[in-house]
Structures are given as C-alpha cells and as structure tokens.
Amino acid sequence: MPKSKRDKKVSLTKTAKKGLQSKQKLIEELRKCVDTYRSLFIFSVANMRNNKLKDIRTAWKHSRFFFGKNKVMAVALGKRETDEYKDNLHKVSKYLQGEVGLLFTNKTKEEVQEYFDNFKEMDYARAGNRAQVDTTLDEGPLEQFPHSMEPQLRQLGLPTALKKGVVTLLKEHAVCKEGDMLTPEQARILKLFGIEMAEFRVQIKCMWNSETGEFDNVAGGEEPMQEEDEDEDDDDAE
C-alpha cells in the first residue's frame, strides 16, 4: 500500500483570493475520495456542455466527478513529490490544466475507457468553434420560420424577404466553409437551421490506482509541464 501523507499541512496562501473555507472543504472532500475509491482518472472535455456532463454524472452515480478549480484540486492531490497526499499523485496534478476534470470510481480502467470511448454527442457549434463541413443554404421558401423572423434572419446576413407572407431566401447562401472559425452570426444561423457541428466527447488522460499507487499515462505522449503557481480563479463545477 502507498504511504499516506495526510499529516502534511496545506498552505492556501496563494489560493486564498476568496472563499478560503469552500476551498478547504473541496480539498478535504477530494482527499476523502482518494481514500474511498479504487481509481482516479483525469479526463479532458471537447466542446464542453454542462447538460452533457450532467447526463454522465447521472449515469455514473456510483462514482464522483469534480470539474473546475484546477489549482485547488492540484493542492489537494499535491503538486510535488514532497507534498503529495499519496504516492505519485503529483504526477496526476500535472494534468490539471484546461478543461479537465477528476473521476473517482471503483470501475476498472477497461470499463471507464469503453464508456467514454462510446459517449459522443453532437450539439450546436458556438462562436469560435471550427466549422466541420461546408454549409450552403438553398434558394427558396423557408416555411419553418414565421414571417416575424424575417428581419432577424436578414440581420444575420441572410438574403431574405417576405413573398406572399412567406420568409424566402432570395439566392443560395454559403454559411461557412470547413475549417472556418465561426462568427456569432454563423453559429446562430446554424442553430436556427438545426445544423449541429460540435461533438461533445470525453478523453481519459491518465489514471492513478489507490491500492498500488501506480500512475498510468493512458493517453500516451509527453507528460505536461507543471504550471506555475497562481491565484485560483476557476469556476466551481462539481
């Protein structure tokens, strides 16, 4: 069994910008999960959607998810070998960068990977996302829209007009090309026409076994560099 380092006192000087008490509570809760569950996984999220993550949490009620507060979570696990809560947790902390979360579970590595490999759902792209395909709207009536929508469509850059009370696209219109970074107007048009381009998906980055202290770089590749200490400003999203 890996040695426990729970007697180490954690200084929150650099993360005490606000909510010191809530951050201390999060640290305690994370460490309790380290002691309770067999495995800890770090996962990254592409095209983050809170409702999709909520669906996953509902399906995995037997486990615990934490998303957000990366730097506080790194403090809880330990950023270095000298202050890690248990053996090799400092290696896990290196992955707490960007849109990532923690999964504590008693499920096996194979069960976790199989679930997330198969969990992919489409959603509407947002401004700043890349267009996945060329999208062109055909000339003609747009009977799915009420006549009151015509001014809004025109403001979005669509060549529309009312013909006999029916919203009509006066000519073919190219909304976007594959690889374009979508503008707010393009993203709005795609949503209005029911065109989904953003794939919500989760990738397992690494795992840690509480029984052996073993760390596994599941995704492969080089391990990330440890980020410099800064004040914690991430949003709560447990």
Q: Are strands 100-105 and 39-46 parallel, antiparallel or unpaired?
A: antiparallel
166-169 sheet: strands from edge to edge? 140-141, 166-169, 160-163
Measured in degrees and rounded to the nearest 5, phi and psi for residue 36 equal -95, -40
Distance separating alpha carbons of residues 29 and 24, to the nearest angstrom: 9
Confidence (pLDDT) at 226: 63
State if pTM tops 0.85. no
Is the separation of the CB atoms in 70 and 44 below 8 Å? Answer: no
Secondary structure string (H, E, C) spanning 199-230: EEEEEEEEEEECCCCCEECCCCCCCCCCCCCC
What residue ranges of the chain have pLDDT lower than 70?
1-18, 221-222, 225-238
CB atoms within 10 A of CB 59: 11
pLDDT the model gives residue 219: 80
Q: CA 213, CA 43: separation in Å to the nearest integer?
A: 19
